[in-house]
Chain A
Amino acid sequence: MAFEPKRPQKTYTYDDVRLFTDEELKNYTAEEEKNFKIKHDIPLLEKLESGPWPSFVADAKRYALRRRKLGEEGKLLISPDVVEDLLGQVELSFVHGETHWKHGGIVGVIGYGGGVIGRYSDLAAKYPGVAHFHTVRVAQVPSKFYNTAFLRGLADLWEYRGSGMLNLHGSTGDIILLGTFTEQLEPLFQELTQVLDVDLGGSGSNLRTPECCLGKARCQYALYDTQEMCYEMTMHYQDELHRPAFPYKFKFKFDGCPNGCVASIARADLSFIGTWCDDIRIDQDAVQGYINGEFPPGGGSHSGKDWGKFDIYAEVIDRCPTGCMSLEGGELVIDNPNCTRCMHCINTMPRALRPGVETGVSLLFGAKAPILEGAQMSVLVIPFMKAEPPYDNVKEMINKMFEWWMDEGKNRERLGETIQRVGLQRFCDIMGLPPAPQMVKEPRTNPYIFWKEEDVPGGFERDINDYRSRHAR
């Protein structure tokens, strides 16, 4: 498997980078944990401490204890009260039913225009520990595999220079370090890049940190190398990621197959979804295995309820959205040219059916959440493209699109909205692509075609006298 990082990768153990000793890491007893009271009353939050699901309140309270003790020893650069003050402010937010974070705050690191989101409390006098509560987005490893050396190093750094509270992960995919003061932003950045060997993610009107599914690492359906492509595109577009120059945010997401586990079709301005263009591979013996009940359908995904004996007609053949499957002489037959690769038969009989071997990606453009004028999903624009390193063909398409969007897009207009404003045909024209019925669910129902002058014999210049020579007023 091709393994070519774009730069030498640092390897380190936790001992190489650590800030805290073992004693400092285990600085409280179970007894102290049980008896610990934080400095604010939080009766509403405490209602979230029971129940089976992991309790973020219990976690935060426990951590507040550790922080208070470290603070007393002068071992933290940010207020030891930050967790207690956060819980206090959230409690008051519950009472008010309103958030207590102020709007905005332009902070960041030198040379970057994104990666840090400024945040200030509107109750700074009452909760001074969260007076500043800036977020730092750190680029996640594509598909979010980690070793403990990296996570422990990050934990030490963030405990020392920040609140010690974080998200694994934020909605876009980054590691989100929640809450530090302005003074520590620059030092944090330098420790991240120079010691932990990792960069900030995107925020603002730039390329957001690209995200991919786990792909070939642990999935038989990966139709291209999602990690590799995600990594390559992330590295190639570092400038776009760190220095906002776009009309608005822009997201790449990489789904390995049409199952869409990273939801690229709903969330990404440019969605890469793996597909194939040859025949589904069939293992007829395994098909019989499913029919005979030797293998659980769906890899056992429905085993919690008795759905009866597997019925290949009811569960697969009759559920095929294109009706392109049949059983002939005991053999499963697929009319491949009429298959739309929805994955249902493959998902249901994973041992018997596998996608084809001629694989590539579909490129879909324009998804976004509702702000401003309603949600949009990505539109299929390029049905099939080979996706092999160094992905020059794909980069060429992306560059064309960026150049046009930066020129044509209005302030705070997502790509999908620009496409909606100018029309899909204009977008295809810019991209140098011919129109295709695959791009639409159905042709237009109105005939309001914006004919161009060159389309019509004689052009648009009219002579009213000529017209009147045939028609009286």
Chain B
Amino acid sequence: MALSKDRLGRFNPDKHMEGRVTDIGPRHYWQFFPPVIQNNYGKWAYHEILEPGVLVHVSETGDKAFTVRCGGMRFMTVDFVRELCDIADRFSDGYVRFTTRNNIEFIVDSLEKVEALKAELAKHTFAIGGSLKFPVGGTGAGVTNIVHTQGFIHCHTAAVDASSMVKALMDGLFEHFTSMDLPAQVRVSMACCLNMCGAVHCSDIALLGYHRKPPAIDHEVLHKICEIPLAIASCPTAAISPAKTEDGLKTVKLKVERCMFCGNCYTMCPALPLADGQGDCVVMMAGGKVSNRISMPTFSKVVIPYLPNNHPLFPEVVEATKQVLNAYAADARKYERIGDWAQRIGWEKFFEKCNLPFTEHLIDDYRLAYDTYRTSTQFKYTEAAWAVTRAAEGEE
């Protein structure tokens, strides 16, 4: 059955239930597996990374599946999809898969096919600008693709764009995508606001768009487009309360000193926009992970409270990320993730080695903040400690 070319296709507005098919769910996975995957499903014995971006999985049957992993743009066009399909049809029997981190994988059953595939992939560059279309890498102890959110491409709550920052950042970190020279894998993630579609809060390095001004109140329409009690209830710090305008319109007022800029009110009430090109910024968090390997999964911690939202190349974000990455690469032990390293050397040393200022913004003052305060005499001396000593007139 071919796809319809009629303007309304199979939809008949007068009989909209006619022929309707619902609740069929996703396609079943089995028919999308290449033969080497079908034949060895559940029989894999071990794997090896032959070179950055190339893996071999060896089955108990003796079969081998070779994977070539390419960095991918999660935002793409159908032209790009067709181009990768052309490659898959010619080199991997018409099969292709995507990873959780938006990488593209071609799976073949021999090393010769890997070489042919790699040679082909290297030929694909954009006519404009010359970027690679299918850079090979993203395996092992390196930086793999950055998962991210929609940003200005599609989102109404974004504090910063996503695709542009990720492109600029991956250009800056490219050498780590195509090599495996770090102490462990480094998972970088990006979210364009605190809603964190995609949940970047457990990443080695997370970049987060953030608003820094309280919502502007659109008094003229608020009473028409918002449920005022819902808007009030949406605020976790009770900063919003009912009010009336001079003209007697029902509206809300704000205790701005209570606002933590989470944006939940805007989600409930479109008359309370937070976006502000001057105020919005990027926050860097570090040291989180989801794996249970050696240490338990951990949240990322805020390590830089403010970086400018300098579209489209974000030079300050790229520099700061490299700064943390370089300090980590130089100092961490084998298998230590960024958070494990910071934990071992102490966060005071993390700030010293990364050459990052420790500011008041980095001390928690939200609920359960006290749990993060240090209740011990165990600390290491860094310049920041001596600054406290001097301020307290504790030495000459």
Contact = CB atoms under 8 A, between A and B. Distances in A.
B95 A300 contact: no
B119 interface: no
Contacts of B46: 220, 299, 350-351
Interface stretch (B48-56, B248-256, B349-357, B386-394): B48-56
B163 interface: yes
A27 B140 CA distance: 40
A169 interface: yes
Contact of A304 (B42, B75, B151, B181): B181
Contacts of A348: 335
B275 interface: yes
A311 to B, nearest CB: 10
**How big is chain B's contact interface, by range?**
35 or more
A94 B199 contact: no
A302 B333 CA distance: 12
A101 B155 contact: yes
A213 B100 CA distance: 8
Interface string A206-229: 000101011011111010010100
Contacts of B297: 260, 265-266, 377
Contacts of B75: 56, 165-167, 178
B47 interface: yes
Which of B45, B100, B267 has the largest number of chain A CB atoms within 10 A? B100
A473 interface: no
Contacts of B150: 167
Contacts of B276: 97-98
Given A1-B42, A149-B94, 16 more contacts: A19-B5, A62-B128, A63-B77, A160-B5, A187-B6, A187-B11, A195-B4, A231-B26, A238-B25, A259-B292, A266-B199, A296-B48, A305-B182, A369-B200, A371-B194, A412-B234
Given A153-B3, A191-B10, A171 B199 contact: yes
Contacts of B100: 144, 173, 211, 213, 261-263
A364 to B, nearest CB: 10
A167 B163 CA distance: 11
Interface string B125-164: 0111111111100011110000101111111111011011
Contacts of B17: 110
A201 to B, nearest CB: 8
Nearest to B80: A59
Contact of B9 (A140, A187, A375): A187
Contact of B26 (A44, A141, A165): A141
Contacts of A33: 127-128
B30 interface: yes
A100 B152 contact: yes
Interface in A427-462: none
A143 B196 CA distance: 22
A297 B295 CA distance: 19
B1 A375 contact: no
A49 interface: yes
A194 B10 contact: yes
B33 A217 contact: yes
Contact of A218 (B1, B67, B132, B234): B67
Given A44-B312, A48-B312, A321-B294, A58 B131 contact: yes
B309 interface: yes
Given A54-B72, A55-B129, A103 B156 contact: yes
A471 interface: no
B181 A305 contact: yes
A371 B10 contact: no
Interface in A297-343: 298-305, 307, 315, 319, 321, 340-343
Contacts of A57: 129, 167
Interface in B51-90: 52, 55, 57, 65, 67, 71-82, 84-85, 88-89
A25 B47 contact: no
A263 B202 CA distance: 9
A5 B236 contact: no
Interface in A116-165: 119, 133, 135, 139-161, 164-165
Contact of A372 (B7, B11, B236): B236
A90 B32 contact: no
- For the complex of A and B, 10 pairs with smallest distance between CB atoms: A97-B277, A171-B198, A49-B129, A301-B140, A51-B171, A304-B181, A103-B270, A187-B9, A369-B196, A139-B26
